[in-house]
């Protein structure tokens, strides 16, 4: 008997670990579907492989398979985070591996829970499981991923489809509407293969067809283009906060700007002024006067300390030509500014700072004690146009940005400093997320960065011009403003929630009594 049990147990254990390894590899298969690779069909294959492995699994095993899939996606997809830890944060590589691994483990809990609940609530592999249970639970998991503990909605699967017809659903339902369409396509393919009923293939074909019809629609109206000059100073990160580099940095940006005074709007990147606003008042007054003299609008990143509260903010200032009828000159504390609302954990605020800061320089990075600005703030007014701001990480939070984009918002301006992440894929993923915001909200995006990826994106999410990374340069682009609102801009996620609620009712209306 023991002779029989031994081989059987070994075979059983081997099959379990093979399934988990398969789920991990399926997750890793999705990584090249995102920028900069753009191999979008791999996202379909990744989900198909995961769902095939989940068939017939009990909830606990399904949860572990979902966890393995999430680790396969997040470990290679977010490995670039270690660059800021090892190159700039004083953390050795083994410790960085542990920290990135813990983050990826946390992020992987969300698809794990979706898979475990799918096996418990929809144990039968029929159409209800794939057309109702899968989208509902996956999108709820994505919601948790984007909101809990400040949220990290980075590798949502919808971003992998930015260059496919499915992206046509973004102006209607947001990026999660694109994820929903992708999940339904996978469901149709799986049902067709499992039940050998080829009419199920009409579902993915229909979704791709509808998306292709939606994508050319102009949800907002163009106006007369403005000429933009986006500055990419390429200041080395190790030198950026050196007090001796303040003057050379400002001179570099001023020299670049003087050569581009024919632009309607000049934009400097995040923290381009490496000093507090109240430390360089004379410089800002002179820049404001020079820009007004040349009839040029100006936006720059800077840090602000409010004297009354002694709170620090990561900010954008609008200077220069604000409006033809606006003659107010710059003064400290003027209203044409934006304070970053959604701060980056560790980089801009440190949870449990008293415990973590003594452990390593990584927990005490420059400017890591910011306060939050208000969730909804007025647009910047530059050259008579309204700019909805998003500083760096904020561009990943679609609903937060949506609340600051109005019918009379003409552009989205986002500034960043992705130098923290070197030559990794992180900055390209970041740029792709900015493209999705343009498509969702029907507004062009101007993205100025310290070292790339600096880019101009039109109101349909298409890249107009970009600069090479890690080179000093100026991106010149004529970009038309956009007025009006997309359905997603007006209604947010309400239509998507309604669809999910209707799907839940449909799926629970009649329970299947047995598996196919």
Tokens representing 39 are: 């191999």
Average pLDDT, consecutive stretches of 10 residues, N- to C-terminus, the chain (516 residues): 43 69 96 97 97 93 97 97 84 91 97 97 90 95 94 97 98 97 97 90 97 96 97 89 90 96 97 93 95 95 87 94 76 92 77 50 56 95 96 96 97 94 94 98 98 95 96 97 98 92 77 45
- pLDDT, residue 85, reads 86
From 240, 340, 443, 460, the catalytic residue: 340
From 215, 240, 270, 440, the catalytic residue: 270
Is the pTM above the cut of 0.85?
A: yes
**Would residue 270 show up in a list of annotated catalytic residues for this protein?**
yes
Long-range (24+ apart) CB contacts under 8 A made by 327-333 are 329/285, 329/288, 329/289, 329/292, 330/284, 330/285, 330/287, 330/288, 331/285, 332/277, 332/278, 332/281, 333/306
Q: C-alpha distances in angstroms, 48 versus 69, 71, 143, 191, 268?
A: 12, 17, 22, 11, 44
What gap in Å lies between CA 172 and CA 409, rounded to an integer? 18
First to last CA, the chain: 35
Does residue 57 contact residue 12 with C-beta atoms inside 8 Å? no
CA angle 78, 398, 416 (to 5 degrees): 60
Contacts of 507 (CB under 8 A, 6+ apart): 122, 128, 131, 132, 133, 136
Contacts of 373 (CB under 8 A, 6+ apart): 313, 315, 338, 339, 340, 341
- pLDDT, residue 354, reads 52
**Would residue 115 show up in a list of annotated catalytic residues for this protein?**
no
**Would residue 392 show up in a list of annotated catalytic residues for this protein?**
yes
Q: Sign of the C-alpha dihedral, residues 245, 351, 394, 404?
A: negative
Beta bridge partners of 313: 304
Contacts of 327 (CB under 8 A, 6+ apart): none
Is-cis flag, bond preceding 36, omega within 30? yes
Strands (E), 178-309: 221-222, 226-232, 265-267, 297-306
| Rg (alpha carbons) of the chain, rounded to whole number | 25
DSSP secondary structure of 321-388: --BTTB-PPP-TT-SSEEE--SPPBTTTB-TTHHHHTTT-GGGG-TT--PPP--SS-PPEEETTEEEE
Does residue 104 contact residue 69 with C-beta atoms inside 8 Å? no
- pLDDT, residue 325, reads 67
From 26, 392, 394, 443, the catalytic residue: 392
What gap in Å lies between CA 174 and CA 170, rounded to an integer? 4
Tokens representing 404 are: 């600051």
3-class secondary structure for 63-78? HHHHHHHHHHHHHHHC
């Amino acid at each position: 008997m023991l002779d029989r049990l031994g081989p059987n147990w070994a075979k059983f254990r081997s099959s379990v670990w093979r399934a988990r390894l398969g789920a991990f590899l399926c997750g890793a298969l999705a990584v090249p579907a995102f920028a900069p690779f753009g191999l979008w069909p791999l996202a379909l294959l990744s989900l198909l492989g995961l769902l095939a492995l989940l068939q017939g699994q009990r909830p606990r095993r399904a949860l572990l398979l979902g966890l393995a899939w999430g680790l396969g996606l997040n470990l290679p997809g977010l490995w670039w985070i270690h660059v800021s830890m090892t190159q700039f944060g004083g953390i050795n590589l083994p410790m960085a591996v542990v920290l990135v691994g813990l983050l990826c483990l946390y992020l992987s809990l969300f698809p794990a829970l979706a898979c475990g609940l799918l096996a418990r609530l929809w144990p039968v592999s029929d159409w209800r499981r794939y057309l109702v249970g899968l989208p509902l639970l996956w999108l709820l998991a994505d919601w948790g991923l984007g909101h809990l503990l400040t949220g990290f909605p980075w590798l949502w699967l919808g971003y992998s489809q930015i260059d496919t017809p499915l992206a046509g659903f973004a102006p209607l339902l947001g990026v999660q509407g694109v994820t929903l369409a992708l999940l339904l396509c996978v469901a149709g393919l799986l049902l067709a293969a499992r039940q050998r009923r080829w009419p199920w293939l009409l579902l993915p074909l229909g979704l791709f067809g509808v998306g292709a019809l939606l994508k050319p629609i102009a949800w907002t109206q163009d106006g007369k283009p403005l000429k933009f000059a986006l500055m990419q100073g390429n200041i080395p990160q190790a030198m950026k906060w050196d007090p001796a580099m303040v003057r050379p940095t400002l001179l570099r940006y001023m020299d670049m700007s003087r050569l581009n005074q024919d632009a309607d709007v000049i934009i400097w990147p995040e923290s381009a002024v490496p000093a507090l606003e109240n430390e360089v008042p004379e410089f800002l007054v002179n820049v404001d006067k020079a820009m007004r003299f040349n009839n040029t609008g100006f936006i720059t990143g800077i840090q602000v300390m409010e004297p009354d509260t002694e709170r620090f903010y990561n900010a954008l200032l609008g200077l220069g030509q604000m409006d033809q009828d606006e003659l107010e000159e710059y003064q400290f504390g003027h209203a044409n500014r934006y304070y970053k609302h959604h701060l980056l954990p560790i980089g801009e605020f440190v949870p449990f700072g008293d415990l973590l800061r003594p452990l390593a320089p990584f927990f005490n990075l420059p400017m890591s004690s910011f306060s939050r600005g208000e969730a909804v703030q007025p647009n910047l007014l530059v050259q008579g146009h309204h700019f909805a701001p998003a500083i760096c990480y904020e561009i990943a939070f679609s609903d937060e940005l949506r609340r600051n984009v109005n019918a009379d918002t003409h552009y989205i301006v986002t500034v960043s400093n992705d130098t923290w992440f070197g030559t990794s894929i992180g900055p390209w993923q970041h740029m792709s997320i900015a493209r999705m915001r343009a498509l969702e909200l029907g507004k062009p995006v101007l993205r100025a960065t310290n070292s790339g990826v600096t880019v101009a994106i039109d109101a349909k999410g298409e890249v107009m011009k970009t600069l090479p990374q890690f080179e000093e340069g100026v991106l010149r682009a004529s970009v038309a403003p956009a007025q009006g609102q997309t359905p997603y801009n007006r209604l947010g996620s309400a239509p998507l929630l309604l669809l999910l609620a209707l799907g839940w009712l449909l799926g629970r209306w009649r329970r299947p009594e047995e598996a196919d």
